[in-house]
Amino acid sequence: MSLAIATTSATPQRNWLEKLGAGHIILAVALVLYPLVASDFFLTQIGGYSLIFGMLGLSLMLLAGYGGMVSLAQITVAGIAAYAIAILGNNNSSILGLGWPWWLAVPFAVLAAALASALIGWISVRTEGIYTIMITLAIATATFYFAQQNYAIFNGHSGYTGIRAPVFWSVNWRDARPFYYLCLGLAALSYAAVLYGSRSTFGMTLQAIRDNPRRMRALGYHVTAHKVFAWLLAGVIAGLAGVLLVWFNGRVSPGTIGVDAAIDVLIIAVIGGLRHPIGPFLGAVVVVLMQTFAIDIVGAERFNTLIGMVFLVIVFVSPDGILGLWGRIKPHLAQESLRPGP
Amino acid sequence: MRMHRRTLLALAVFTGLTAPSMALAADDTIKIGLLATFEGPFTVLGEDGERGAMTAVAEMNGTVAGKKIEIVKGSSDASPDSAVRAARKLVEQDGVKVLVGPLSGDEGIAVKDYAKTQPNVTFINGTSAAQDTTLRDPAENFFRFSTDGAQWMAGLGTYAFKDKGYKKVATVAEDYSFPYTQVFGFMAEFCKAGGHVPSKSWVPIGNKDFSSVIAAIPEDVDAIYVALGGADAVNFLTQYQQGGGTAPLIGGSITVDQTVLTSKGKLKEVLKGTPSAGPTADTNDAPAWKAFVEAYKKQPGAFPSPSLFAHGYYVDMKATLLGLDQVGGDVSDGGKKLRDALSKLSFDTPTGKVSLDKNRNAIADIFLTEVTEGADGNLLNKLVKVVPQVNQTLGIPEDEFMKLGAVNRENPSCP
């Protein structure tokens, strides 16, 4: 409640606490304290996994929400980073595994992912709407089959196993709590970067290009360059998520980057909502919880039907996802609070 | 006030996310995890595996050592990632101390790797049959009572060469560790007998269009060895027949399994007379097998005859329950007693005696079969011969066997 007091005594010059907003602070405190109440399973399998998929959704939200480019290739970009970690670092599949230390392998993996993302963007940037979806889906599928059938570099269907998260600063980052904080840190960084970036000149230009590319071109903006740069930035986030994903699973195989996973990322972004960077994280929590526990609710035969139904209901009730749902409930709550007490 | 409500909502969401992490099992129940493929191309196979496991549970009337058996299911889609994720959920969230599964080759290797990180949990295989799950770098707490894919091929290579007279055989198999193991098992005998394999085709799981594969098969082969599973086998065989292919077939264990034989369509003529080998034979006359078939048929949606997945899951679940029975259902010591009991366990299954070697891999009887039409028009695997007590090194001394190298796409080779 002290925060509310701070808000009422606001001076015209807003301090950083106010800029941050009460919602963010509460969320941050809750997420930082989460390990105090959660079991190891809830820390990594639900918490960490949601944050990783939230980052993947975020990279899609950046492209789709601000740039109007819906991509199905974000998991592919993450997969490139994951495979890069497996190939450059250590693995026990006795193929490649160049043994680079993590602090060299990680930047290379993220860089490779970002460049690959920019390349995918460069290929698909001339298309719009459903054609962007199709071309990125084609790229994702092609990469999946390429990985599955290439034995010299990708080790085929089995992929790479035995990949360990590094140990540094005398912390084993594969342990539940450090890994959760690692995911949380990187997710928060990506989230803040996207939020900040969306209000920057580049972010504004990108949104203007989304709304009216012809006018922006006429004004002298290089539309293609802006879009490709957005792909590069989305690639950095997806690449980081890919590094976390390979440390999380301890392995990477074509199944990691299959079409199912690509569609999962799209579902996460759509379920969560594309209007604000928090949306994909909300979507990721819902999807991960559903995928983990639906089998306990309805048994092994029908659980995928239940998952599909829940997603349908969310999109039916609120076409712009959970964020939109919140936007609809909020005015009611505000009204409620204005009513006289009982 | 608005702020207050928002805080409450955040708190509600937050506690909702963390609260359900309760996996307390009552003292009078034993939780067993059951991991199978309930999604993806092997769904039918996974469902039959479940029927097999449940047959074993039903046989014990749902109790072991006076405690009620509670089965917690986990689902994978045959990819190693999903298998590990499902196993983690069963172990770390549901708190199972005993896990039966998974179904498919690469899944088994991945779960074995995971088993090493959970020394207090006992893992018993489902039907996963890759050789390296137990032969190389095994996990102390991973047991396989259901034999591997190379063992399943015992007798087939010699039979194809000597009795059928095939000298040159092309192979078509899926591109992952289990079919490698099957091809290895077939070729180990076939090449030794003097046969040649001029071409090996590896196709990805879930392939729909086999025209290029069919075109690549050499014209002058005497037969084609096919090791494909589920929908892949049906697709290949249909397209091969439609393409006018006439070469006789030799079947991998799961290619002529009930999961394929019961599929509708014109496959009957193609499949009739196909020799194969595996852990089961439909026309087995042994009373134990007949009793098992009757018990299996009580499961909902059962096939006319149990597939090898039902059999494998049955044997592994049965072993698990026998082991638990011996230790009085006590796994409070991190499963140490249970693992000791399991390593020494030897029992009679519907398909003969099963015991374990030092790598905790099964030694069991293997059945040489041929596909025939049953009295009611269903296709069946007719028992030709029993190869008794096949071990993982196929009767070859272990050091000699290890020199053959790890199974993969190139190994073995006899063009």
| DSSP codes joined into one string, B182-226 | HHHHHHHHHHHHT-B---EEEE-TT----HHHHHHS-TT-SEEEE
H helices, E strands: number in chain B: 14, 15
Return mean pLDDT, chain B.
86
Contact of B113 with chain A, judged by CB distance below 8 Å, is answered with: yes
The pLDDT value recorded for residue B21 is 40
Which residues in chain A are closer than 8 Å to B15, comparing Cβ atoms? 37
For residue A8, the one-letter residue type is T
Neighbour-count burial for A64-82, b at 16+ CB within 10 Å, e otherwise: bbbbbbbbbbbbbbbbbbb
Q: Residue B80: which of A37, A255, A295 has the nearest Cβ?
A: A255
Residues B322 and B145: their CA atoms lie apart, in Å, by: 12
How many Cβ atoms from other residues are within 10 Å of residue A226's Cβ? Answer: 19
Q: Do B85 and A38 touch (CB under 8 A)?
A: no
Interatomic CA distance for residues A206 and A235, integer angstroms: 16
Which residues are CB-neighbours of B139 under 8 A, at least 6 positions away? B112, B113, B115, B116, B123
Are B383 and B369 a contacting pair, CB within 8 Å?
A: yes
* Beta carbons of B2 and A301 less than 8 Å apart: no
In chain B, what residues touch A296 (CB-CB under 8 Å)? Answer: 72
Phi and psi (nearest 5°) for B252?
A: -70, 165
Please tell me which of the candidates B6, B18, B79 has its beta carbon nearest to residue A37: B18
Q: Does residue B94 have a pLDDT over 70?
A: yes
Using pLDDT thresholds of 50, 70 and 90, give the confidence band for residue B298.
Answer: very high
Residues of B in contact with A253 (CB under 8 A): 79-81, 106
- In this complex, do A253 and B204 lie within 8 Å of one another by their Cβ atoms? no
Question: Rounded to whole angstroms, how far apart are CA atoms B311 and B308?
Answer: 5
Q: Do A158 and B109 touch (CB under 8 A)?
A: yes
Cβ pair A253:B4 closer than 8 A: no
* Whether pLDDT at B179 is above 50: yes
Nearest by CB to residue A45, choosing from B81, B89, B113, is B89
Please give the helix or strand (H or E) that residue B98 lies within, else none. Answer: strand B98-100
Which comes out higher in pLDDT, residue A207 or B3? A207
Confidence at B44, pLDDT banded by 50, 70, 90: confident
Q: Give the one of B6, B20, B89 whose C-beta lies nearest to A23's C-beta.
A: B6
8 Å CB contact of B175 and A337 = no
Cα(B189)–Cα(B412) distance, integer angstroms: 11
| Closest Cβ opposite residue A158 in set B7, B21, B106 | B106
Chain B nearest C-alpha distance from A61 (Å): 23
Bridge-based pairing of strands B142-143 and B122-124 is parallel
Contact B2 A334 (CB under 8 A): yes
To the nearest whole Å, the CA of B93 is away from the closest chain A CA by 6
A96 Cα distance to chain centroid:
29
Query: Edge-to-edge, what's the strand order for the sheet holding B98-100?
Result: B63-64, B67-76, B29-37, B98-100, B122-124, B142-143
What contacts A263, CB < 8 A, 6 or more positions away? A72
Judge: A300–B205 Cβ closer than 8 Å, yes or no. Answer: no
Assess B3–A contact: CB distance below 8 Å, yes or no. Answer: yes
Mutation for B interface: A7, A8, A26, A41, most B CBs within 10 A: A41
Contact list, B109 vs chain A (CB under 8 Å):
158, 161
Judge whether residue A81 has pLDDT over 60: yes
- CB-based contacts of B66: which residues, under 8 Å, 6+ apart? B28, B329
The stretch B343-355 carries a mean pLDDT of 91
The least confident of A9-23, A263-277, B184-198, B231-245 is A9-23
List of chain A residues whose C-beta atoms are within 8 Å of the C-beta of residue B205: 157
* pLDDT at res. A80: 94
Tell me whether residues A295 and B47 touch, CB distance under 8 A.
Answer: no
Quick check: B185 pLDDT over 50? yes
On whether any CB of chain A is under 8 Å from the CB of B24, the answer is: no
Structure tokens at B182: 């099957």
Where do the structural domains in chain A lie, given as residue ranges? Answer: 38-273
Chain CA centroid to CA A274, Å: 12
pLDDT, tens only, B186-205? 998 899 889 999 999 988 88
Which of A72, A25, A57 has the alpha carbon at shortest distance from A323?
A: A57
A250–B113 CB contact, under 8 Å:
yes
* Distance from C-alpha of B37 to C-alpha of B49, rounded to nearest angstrom: 9
CB-CB under 8 Å, A4 with B39: no
Task: Name beta bridge partners: B275.
Answer: B370
Residue A12: pLDDT band by 50, 70, 90 thresholds?
A: low
Judge whether B164 is closer than 8 Å to chain A, CB to CB. no
pLDDT at A8: 45
* Residues B278, A163: Cα–Cα separation, whole Å: 35
Half-sphere exposure of B61 (CA within 13 A, CB side): 3
Strands B362-373 and B275-278: antiparallel
Specify the fold of B151-284+366-404: Rossmann fold (3.40.50)
Three-state DSSP at B112 gives: helix
Name the DSSP class of B26: P
Mark yes or no for CB contact A39/B6 under 8 Å: no
How many Cα neighbours within 13 Å face the side chain of B98? 30
B208 touches chain A (CB under 8 A): no
Position B408 scores a pLDDT of 79
Q: Which residue type sits at B156?
A: L
Considering only residues A47 and A22, tell me which one the structure prediction assigns the higher pLDDT: A47
Helix ranges restricted to H, A273-302: 278-298
**A91 against A122, higher pLDDT:** A122
pLDDT at A335 over 80: no
Contact B143, B133 (CB under 8 A): no
Mean pLDDT (whole number) for B64-77 = 89
Asked whether residue B400 carries a pLDDT value surpassing 50, the answer given is yes
pLDDT for the residue numbered B9: 54
Q: What is the pLDDT of residue A3?
A: 43
Euclidean distance between CA atoms A198 and A63, whole angstroms: 11
| Distance from C-alpha of B6 to C-alpha of A274, rounded to nearest angstrom | 22
More confident residue, A99 or B129: B129
In the block, which residue shows the tokens 């129940």?
Answer: B29
Predicted ipTM > 0.90 = no
Query: If you average pLDDT over residues B144-153, what whole number do you get?
Result: 90
The residues facing B67 across adjacent strands are B64
Phi/psi at B364 (nearest 5 deg)? -155, 170
Distance from the Cα of residue B161 to its chain's centroid: 26
Nearest-10 crossing angle of helices A74-88, A102-124:
150
CB A50 within 8 A of CB A281: yes
C-alpha closest to that of B404 among B228, B169, B180: B180
Report the C-alpha gap between B359 and A211 in whole angstroms.
64
Instruction: With cut-offs at 50, 70 and 90, classify the pLDDT of residue B8.
Output: low
A255–B93 CB contact, under 8 Å: no
> Does A339 have pLDDT greater than 60?
no
- Calculate mean pLDDT across residues B248-260: 87
Degrees to nearest 5, angle at CA B110 with B105 and B113: 130
Nearest to B409 among A151, A254, A301 (CB): A151
Sketch the domain layout of chain B as residue ranges: 29-146+286-363, 151-284+366-404
Task: Say which range, A329-338, B88-97, B139-148, B400-409, has the weakest mean pLDDT.
Answer: A329-338
**pLDDT (mean) for A129-157:** 88
B409 has a chain A CB within 8 A of its CB: yes
Give the pLDDT of residue A14: 66
What pairs with residue B63 in β-bridges?
B68
Q: Which residues of chain A make contact with B204, given a CB cutoff of 8 A?
A: 145, 148-149, 157
- Return the number of other C-beta atoms located less than 10 Å from residue B334's C-beta: 15
Report percent pLDDT > 70 for chain B: 93
Distance (Å) of CA B29 to CA B52, B66, B146? 21, 9, 26
pLDDT in tens, A220-249: 999 999 999 999 999 999 999 999 999 988
Rounded to a whole number of angstroms, the distance from the CA of B408 to the nearest CA of chain A is 11
Q: How many CB pairs under 8 A join A and B?
A: 119
Residues of B within 8 A of A285 (CB-CB) are 17
The CATH number, out of the four listed (3.40.50.2300, 3.30.70.260, 3.60.15.10, 2.40.30.10), of the domain defined by the range B29-146+286-363: 3.40.50.2300
Q: Exposure pattern of A184-201 as b/e (b: 16+ CB <10 Å)?
A: bebbbebbebbeebbeee
DSSP conformational letter for A172: E
Name which of B1, B79, B92 is nearest A255 (Cβ-Cβ).
B79
- A26 half-sphere exposure, CB direction, 13 A CA radius: 19
User: Is the CB of residue B49 less than 8 Å away from at least one CB of chain A?
Assistant: no
Whether the predicted pLDDT of A273 surpasses 70: yes
Q: Which residue has the tokens 């976390």?
A: A244
